[in-house]
Amino acid sequence: MATEFNYEVERASFEEETVLRIEEDNPAELTERPPVVTIMGHVDHGKTSLLDTIRKTRITEFEAGGITQHIGAYNVTTDKGQVAFLDTPGHEAFTAMRARGAKITDIVVLVVAADDGVMPQTLEAINHAKAAGVPIIVAINKIDKANADPDRVKRELAENGLTPEDWGGDTITVNVSAKQNQGINELLEMILLQAEVLELKANQKKMATGHVVEAKIDSGRGPVATVLVQEGTLKVGDPVVCGVQHGKIRAMLNDRGVPVESAGPSIPVEIIGLSGVPMAGDEFVALADEKDAKQVSLHRIQKQRSKELAKTSRLSLDKFYERMQQGDVKELKLIIKADVHGSIEALADSLTKLSNAEVKINVIHSATGTIAESDISLAAVSDAIIIGFNVRPIPKVQALANEENVDMRFYNVIYNVIKDVKDAMAGMMASTFEERILGRAEVREVFQVPKVGAIAGCYVTDGKIERGQLLRLIRDGVVHYEGKNASLRRFKDDVKEVQSGYECGIGIENYNDIKVGDIIECYYLEEIRPEIE
Ligand code: GDP
């Protein structure tokens, strides 16, 4: 129409893609790149020790007198090839990266102590790695210990879906001792072998792209970021966009603190010259023109603002049927946290049995104990729903769930969980009552009053406590009792409510087993009437 009126059409809106020009790679230009490894495992099983041993023995061997810097990642050279290690052990960092859309890790090394076996965080790590589709190599550590029992570890791994190769499965296991530097060569060999299977390739010849591993502000040097190059080659002087930041690379240091001029795929480097501190997990892209870098960065800041306004909608049980009808979801992913193992088994069993031709129910992670931040990140990246059975999260975790829009549901009767999931699958979710938390109080003292029973001397930590409302007693994150408020007093007077920051006496109807340190949560049920369309 414009031509008919003698006008020419020009695109006025800014499109990142046209500036960033992501080109297709010519397969002939792809060359092998080193694997990137993250170490995960249960606390105290030796993750940090293993990283340290690998770094000390492999790096100083090749670079006499080299001082290793902690920049968040490092590179190891063996005679069979190179390996890059991310220096932040643990699955929180791993999942936090993934939550930001960064797929950096090629291989997970799961550390299991031979004297301790598979523990809760081991299982959590397995589930996190599986959810990310990253292969796992198991390092059975501490084999120098007298009570080391690698066979027990293998048996426990097999019980949890990682059958070792020498038991007829396909999980590589290596016996190591981080302390005595045993088996480290073999572990590195296995990593390289696995990398060969993965056929990791990258094009070195184009402008670099990659992700931020760590970033900070350094007095004297300004914003400093450790980036892992994933494609292309990064050079000093390159203009870059890094998350919402931009800049021109003034200097680059490798993991030994030595200035370098360029870095290729799977090489971590510290870069200086950015406009501000980017976030771990941010993507960086090198561009030919500094003006373009600035424009992209400005555009991203704008986009970020509007994104913050319109929060991403995550899957909730209420919306499940709708999204299933639209063909968006074929699988309902659940994370189950419960007070005892028996409940998890019963729940997981009955829930998975609900799978039918249209939808599969998949329990991606389950563990005993309260809901933790790592559960929320796993739920956020996997679009899963969290089922809390007789457990309650602390306010910080609840706040994170709200921020991330993760649907958490709490139950104390197995039948109700099954019913809700069934109803959600049938599109008949009638959540007629929603819980509204009024406040929480901490029990500081317990008084036994004749004829009345136990009265909890409390301090209201947040919100308020209201007389006659519903209460639940939480001990170590686990719900111990659900009931009703029987009395609420300040000093000798009956009161209607007590605000946070004040002390009060709380009586619970028909319940006396109150202990110092318990948390009393006060709430009411709000009726949500079905919307009439
Ligand atoms: P992380 O919490 O997984 O990072 O574990 P650490 O690396 O901090 O190790 C926990 C403890 O186990 C430390 O006291 C280490 O000295 C010890 N440890 C680590 N590896 C070995 C090992 O191979 N043999 C022995 N005997 N002890 C080890």
Homologous superfamily in CATH for domain 329-428: Translation initiation factor IF- 2, domain 3 (3.40.50.10050)
How close is the Cα of 82 to the center of ligand 1, in Å?
Answer: 25
**Residue 98 near residue 132, CB atoms below 8 Å:** yes
Nearest to 252 by CA among 278, 233, 279: 233
pLDDT value of residue 200: 93
Nearest to 336 by CA among 404, 398, 430, 414: 414
**Mean pLDDT over the full length of the chain:** 86
Domain ranges of the chain: 26-201, 209-297, 329-428, 432-528
**Residue 281 near residue 102, CB atoms below 8 Å:** yes
Say which range, 45-54, 420-429, 444-453, has the weakest mean pLDDT: 420-429
**Residue 502 near residue 460, CB atoms below 8 Å:** yes
pLDDT value of residue 8: 76
Q: Which two structure tokens, joined as six digits, stand for 404?
A: 């991330």
How close is the Cα of 116 to the center of ligand 1, in Å?
Answer: 12
Which residues have a catalytic role annotated? 44, 47-48, 91
How close is the Cα of 174 to the center of ligand 1, in Å?
Answer: 16
Region 28-47: what's the mean pLDDT?
91
**Residue 255 near residue 69, CB atoms below 8 Å:** yes
Q: Could you read off the pLDDT of 305-336 as tens digits, one per residue? A: 766 555 556 777 777 777 777 777 778 899 99
Region 433-455: what's the mean pLDDT?
89
Region 259-279: what's the mean pLDDT?
93
Q: Could you read off the pLDDT of 228-256 as tens digits, one per residue? A: 999 999 999 999 999 889 999 999 998 88
Q: Could you read off the pLDDT of 97-143 as tens digits, one per residue? A: 776 667 889 999 999 999 999 998 899 889 888 888 899 999 999 99
**Residue 340 near residue 364, CB atoms below 8 Å:** no
Region 477-495: what's the mean pLDDT?
90
Q: Which two structure tokens, joined as six digits, stand for 353?
A: 């049995």
Q: Could you read off the pLDDT of 375-411 as tens digits, one per residue? A: 998 898 888 999 999 898 888 898 888 888 888 999 8
Taking the CA of residue 178 as reference, the ligand 1 atom at the shortest distance is: 23
Percent of the chain with pLDDT over 90: 44
Alpha-carbon distance 72 to 505, whole Å? 50
Query: How is domain 432-528 classified at the architecture level of CATH?
Result: Beta Barrel (2.40)
Q: Of 15-29, 177-191, 400-414, which has the strongest mean pLDDT?
A: 177-191
How close is the Cα of 112 to the center of ligand 1, in Å?
Answer: 11
Residues facing residue 252 across a β-bridge: 271
Ligand 1 pocket, residue 412 CB under 6 Å: no
CATH 2.40.30.10 fits 209-297, yes or no: yes
- Binning pLDDT at 50, 70 and 90, where does residue 294 land? confident
Alpha-carbon distance 337 to 352, whole Å? 16
Q: Model pTM greater than 0.75?
A: no
Helix (H, G, I), strand (E, B) or coil at 157: helix
Alpha-carbon distance 67 to 36, whole Å? 22
CATH 3.30.1280.10 fits 26-201, yes or no: no
Ligand 1 pocket, residue 52 CB under 6 Å: no
Nearest to 107 by CA among 187, 5, 166, 4: 187
Residues facing residue 489 across a β-bridge: 494, 505
Q: Could you read off the pLDDT of 216-230 as tens digits, one per residue? A: 888 888 899 999 999
Same fold, 26-201 and 329-428: yes
Percent of the chain with pLDDT over 70: 89
Q: Among 43, 49, 91, 153, say which to mutate for ligand 1: greatest number of ligand atoms within 8 Å of CB.
A: 49
